[in-house]
Chains A and B, each alone.
Chain A
Amino acid sequence: MNFDWMTAHVGMPLLKILILLVPVFTVVAYMVWFERRVLGFFQSRLGPNRVGPLGLIQPIADGLKLLLKEDVVPANARPFLFKIAPIFSFFPAFVGFAVITWALPWVTASGKTHGFVVADVDLGLLVILALSSMGIFGILLGGWSSGSKYPLFGSLRSASQMLAYEVPLTFSVLSVFLLAGSFRMSDIVAAQQKLGWYFLFPGIVAFGVYLVAAVAETNRTPFDLPEGESEIIGFHTEYSGMRFAFYFVAEYANVVLTSVLAAALFLGGYDIPFVDDAALYAAHPALTSILGVTAYAVKGAVFAFFFVWIRATWPRYRYDQLLRIGWFVLFPLALFNLLLAALFRLWLLR
């Protein structure tokens, strides 16, 4: 228990959490702004543009408004479950960011090199998958404890939908595992750098499956029937104020998380394209890391834009069609893709 140990095992992680949380919260909040603005442009109107320059203070204004709203618990609801349900959605979405490596390590403190990751666990990818499964509890609990038919319907639909699409998602991620040989996020990026190609190309089918499954997992259009605003309003019908904000922010955090994950798994993460990272790292580690984070952010932003683009364009699927796609189309495709990935791995290993 000396200073070095404390720094390495308590101080640095806390610092990393702080450094991670602030940008992540900001990015998630501004994802809302980004979506509203981009949706507006798609729909030949401007998005928020009054509150601050380009409407940039809009998320803060929204957050303040939601904080100041009256706390309504419906009479028919189960109070305790009603109040804690949003936490179950909120929590996993943000914890998933802890296992993502953001750049090659260059900070040395107290004799130990600290990577740009809060928790570089061996099974980083599995942790994220497990956490996303936990997110379903929030929806189920929230819908059931609201005590009314609309949220109940919405939450049941959402639960079956997320279950149906968890499986193809897991399989596509497993394909990446097969290609990379490890669940650790930094290893996956390293494997892509070693291969010379991003996993997009060998794993194109996995990429397709992942995209569709990710859109369904995050309850986004065209799979947003559970929160289908024009029909059964959804599991959050009875929620208002900050509780609703929790669900809302959890959804956007999920979107950001899946975008970042897609960038890591298929587009190389913090690998700077067209540049020899190893050489650059040997020469200027700080510059590599900064450029790496920037490249990562850009790749994630591309996916986020893709999410918004689809929302602006396509209608939503009906519930039974949605499940049919999940089980009868994506699942076989994901299995087939696993086979392909295994074959590719064998070819790599020969």
Chain B
Amino acid sequence: MAADRTDLSVTSPLREVLESREVELNLGPQHPATHGVYRAIVRLDGEKVVGIKSVIGYLHRGIEKWAEYRTWTQATPIFDRLDYLGAVLNCHGYVGAVEKILGVEVPKKAQYIRVVLDELQRIASHLLWLGTHGLDVGAQSVLFYAVREREAIMDLFEAMLGQRLLPNAYPIGGVRFDFPRGWVPVCRKFLAEFPKKVDDYETLLTTNRIWVQRTKGVGVVSAEEAVALSLSGPTLRGSGVNFDVRKAIPYSSYEDFDFEVPLGQNGDVYDRYLCRIREMRQSVRIIQQALDGMPEGELKGKVGRIIRPPMGEAYFTVEAAKGQLGYYIVSDGAEKPWRVHVRAPSFINLQGMETMCKGGLIADVVAVIGSIDIVLGEVDR
């Protein structure tokens, strides 16, 4: 426990004075850089991190219990509140799980609309990640630019779904409405301008000496460790593991679209950063393809007014912005769920903190938290 004792052949009081101890620093639940109420108890030897213990649960709201007291449709809005920065994707997960257990066929048009909205939400979530991560590492201006782009997406959501942040986007069976009049041209304009903005961010950060020095080699997790720890999303893909739910277990017509899955090599913060930036560009591609190939058809499959799924269970996963978001639902034939469990990607990715932070400096802890991209709503549910 005591660090290197220099060989002192002096009397013991002096040796006691010069002995070094580990310091326990509390990166407390209230901290500008912990992205919410997350507490990390960091054991430090000087500036080096010897161990890190995560304490979570400050935002635990009992969502899984609450869902058992509402009908299947009434329970839908609460899942937006899990990852409140990527709400549409959460909704898609839950609704997809219920559709799976019911055996409802979602029409192709509704699937394409869902893809468009999902990818827009992914871009919005990654933008906010970029802003906050940059702010933590010290580049203060990126936050403002990222939030400015996000405003465009929020406007699109408001026009289409009625809400900016937590829209409760999909009913069980499809989507509620088609695109409003004039929505598609605005969306296309956004898509045309957005890649240039991403170029701006890359100019500011990707080749910046300081950024590279802060993020390369920091928070490394190897591919085997990452798979063993059940990490997912860009946290996993930064280590080079090609696992994207949209490609591995395609849902909602993702197999119709042509896009790449960006992978990293070293599993450090820099690679995860690059993964997310490239994912934003790929999302733009997907949305353009979806808008170009939008089929005609119904907006909603056949779902009864009161949903009573057969007794059984289902597990449905989507690629949320943070990773693999899964919903495990158990039905006992009633109109209320028996059990809903959310496989929250941020919760499971946060397990990797110890592996990633050990041996680094304390300034790296903040960079790693930013690169895992946690949202406490999801971690604590």
* Direct contact between the two chains A and B in their complex (CB within 8 A): yes
**A→B interface (CB under 8 Å):** 39, 42-45, 149-150, 153, 221-222, 224-225, 228-233, 311-321
* Residue pair A317, B210 in contact (C-beta under 8 Å): yes
Residues of B within 8 A of A149 (CB): 23, 25
Look across to chain B and name the residue whose beta carbon is closest to the beta carbon of A229. Answer: B32
Look across to chain A and name the residue whose beta carbon is closest to the beta carbon of B144. Answer: A43
Which of B145, B211, B361 is in CB contact (< 8 Å) with A319? B361
* Residue pair B144, A316 in contact (C-beta under 8 Å): no
Look across to chain B and name the residue whose beta carbon is closest to the beta carbon of A312. Answer: B141
* Residue pair A45, B144 in contact (C-beta under 8 Å): yes
Residues of B within 8 A of A225 (CB): 363
Q: A-B pairs with the 6 shortest C-beta distances?
A: A316-B138, A315-B138, A43-B144, A315-B139, A230-B33, A318-B363
* Residue pair A316, B210 in contact (C-beta under 8 Å): yes
The docked-state distance in angstroms from the alpha carbon of A154 to that of B145 is 29
8 contacts between A and B (CB under 8 A): A222-B138, A230-B137, A230-B138, A231-B362, A313-B141, A315-B205, A316-B210, A318-B363
* Residue pair A42, B214 in contact (C-beta under 8 Å): no
* Residue pair B141, A221 in contact (C-beta under 8 Å): no
Residues of B within 8 A of A43 (CB): 140-141, 143-145
* Residue pair B139, A314 in contact (C-beta under 8 Å): yes
**B→A interface (CB under 8 Å):** 23, 25, 32-33, 47, 134-141, 143-145, 148, 204-205, 208, 210-211, 213-214, 361-364, 366
* Residue pair B145, A44 in contact (C-beta under 8 Å): yes
* Residue pair B47, A319 in contact (C-beta under 8 Å): yes
Look across to chain A and name the residue whose beta carbon is closest to the beta carbon of B212. Answer: A315
Residues of A within 8 A of B23 (CB): 149
* Residue pair A315, B211 in contact (C-beta under 8 Å): yes
- Excluding A45-B144, A228-B363, A316-B138, 11 further A-B contacts by CB distance (< 8 Å) are A43-B145, A149-B25, A230-B33, A230-B137, A230-B366, A313-B141, A314-B138, A315-B137, A315-B214, A318-B361, A321-B214
Residues of A within 8 A of B141 (CB): 39, 42-43, 312-313
Between B141, B205, B363, the greatest number of chain A beta carbons within 10 A of the residue's beta carbon is seen for B363
Residues of A within 8 A of B135 (CB): 230
Residues of A within 8 A of B204 (CB): 313
Residues of A within 8 A of B362 (CB): 153, 231-232
The docked-state distance in angstroms from the alpha carbon of A233 to that of B25 is 13
The docked-state distance in angstroms from the alpha carbon of A231 to that of B362 is 9
Between A228, A231, A316, A317, the greatest number of chain B beta carbons within 10 A of the residue's beta carbon is seen for A231
Given contacts A44-B144, A44-B148, A230-B33, contact A319 B363 (CB under 8 A): yes
Given contacts A149-B23, A230-B32, contact A313 B361 (CB under 8 A): no
Mostly, the B contact residues are: helix
Which of B33, B139, B140, B213 is in CB contact (< 8 Å) with A231? B33
Residues of B within 8 A of A315 (CB): 134, 137-139, 205, 208, 210-211, 214
Given contacts A149-B25, A231-B33, contact A314 B136 (CB under 8 A): no
Residues of B within 8 A of A230 (CB): 32-33, 135-138, 366
Look across to chain A and name the residue whose beta carbon is closest to the beta carbon of B213. Answer: A321
Residues of B within 8 A of A313 (CB): 139, 141, 204
Residues of A within 8 A of B208 (CB): 314-315
Q: How near does chain A come to B135, taking the closest CB pair, in angstroms?
A: 6
The docked-state distance in angstroms from the alpha carbon of A153 to that of B362 is 11
The docked-state distance in angstroms from the alpha carbon of A42 to that of B134 is 15
The docked-state distance in angstroms from the alpha carbon of A232 to that of B44 is 13
Residues of B within 8 A of A314 (CB): 138-139, 208, 210
The docked-state distance in angstroms from the alpha carbon of A230 to that of B27 is 11
Residues of B within 8 A of A316 (CB): 137-138, 210, 214
Look across to chain A and name the residue whose beta carbon is closest to the beta carbon of B34. Answer: A230
Residues of B within 8 A of A228 (CB): 138, 363
The docked-state distance in angstroms from the alpha carbon of A42 to that of B140 is 10
The docked-state distance in angstroms from the alpha carbon of A331 to that of B33 is 33
Look across to chain B and name the residue whose beta carbon is closest to the beta carbon of A233. Answer: B32
Look across to chain A and name the residue whose beta carbon is closest to the beta carbon of B134. Answer: A315
The docked-state distance in angstroms from the alpha carbon of A233 to that of B366 is 12
The docked-state distance in angstroms from the alpha carbon of A169 to that of B136 is 29
Residues of B within 8 A of A229 (CB): 32
The docked-state distance in angstroms from the alpha carbon of A225 to that of B140 is 13
Q: How near does chain B come to A221, taking the closest CB pair, in angstroms?
A: 6
Residues of A within 8 A of B145 (CB): 43-44
* Residue pair A318, B364 in contact (C-beta under 8 Å): yes
Residues of A within 8 A of B136 (CB): 230-231
Which of B143, B205, B214, B364 is in CB contact (< 8 Å) with A317? B214
Residues of A within 8 A of B140 (CB): 39, 43, 221, 311-312
The docked-state distance in angstroms from the alpha carbon of A43 to that of B144 is 6
Residues of A within 8 A of B205 (CB): 315
Which of A222, A232, A312, A320 is in CB contact (< 8 Å) with B210? A222
Between B135, B143, B144, B205, the greatest number of chain A beta carbons within 10 A of the residue's beta carbon is seen for B144
The docked-state distance in angstroms from the alpha carbon of A273 to that of B135 is 40
The docked-state distance in angstroms from the alpha carbon of A230 to that of B32 is 6
* Residue pair A231, B366 in contact (C-beta under 8 Å): yes
Q: How near does chain A come to B290, taking the closest CB pair, in angstroms?
A: 30
Q: How near does chain B come to A40, taking the closest CB pair, in angstroms?
A: 9
Residues of B within 8 A of A45 (CB): 144
Look across to chain A and name the residue whose beta carbon is closest to the beta carbon of B28. Answer: A150
The docked-state distance in angstroms from the alpha carbon of A312 to that of B139 is 7
Q: How near does chain A come to B332, taking the closest CB pair, in angstroms?
A: 48
Q: How near does chain A come to B189, taking the closest CB pair, in angstroms?
A: 19
The docked-state distance in angstroms from the alpha carbon of A111 to that of B141 is 56
Look across to chain B and name the residue whose beta carbon is closest to the beta carbon of A150. Answer: B25
The docked-state distance in angstroms from the alpha carbon of A221 to that of B32 is 18
The docked-state distance in angstroms from the alpha carbon of A198 to that of B282 is 52
Q: How near does chain B come to A198, taking the closest CB pair, in angstroms?
A: 29
The docked-state distance in angstroms from the alpha carbon of A314 to that of B204 is 8
Look across to chain A and name the residue whose beta carbon is closest to the beta carbon of B23. Answer: A149
The docked-state distance in angstroms from the alpha carbon of A43 to that of B33 is 20
Residues of A within 8 A of B138 (CB): 221-222, 224, 228, 230, 314-317
Residues of B within 8 A of A318 (CB): 213-214, 361, 363-364
The docked-state distance in angstroms from the alpha carbon of A222 to that of B210 is 8
Between B23, B136, B148, the greatest number of chain A beta carbons within 10 A of the residue's beta carbon is seen for B136
Q: How near does chain B come to A29, taking the closest CB pair, in angstroms?
A: 22
The docked-state distance in angstroms from the alpha carbon of A221 to that of B23 is 27
Residues of B within 8 A of A321 (CB): 213-214
* Residue pair B134, A231 in contact (C-beta under 8 Å): no
Residues of B within 8 A of A317 (CB): 138, 210, 213-214
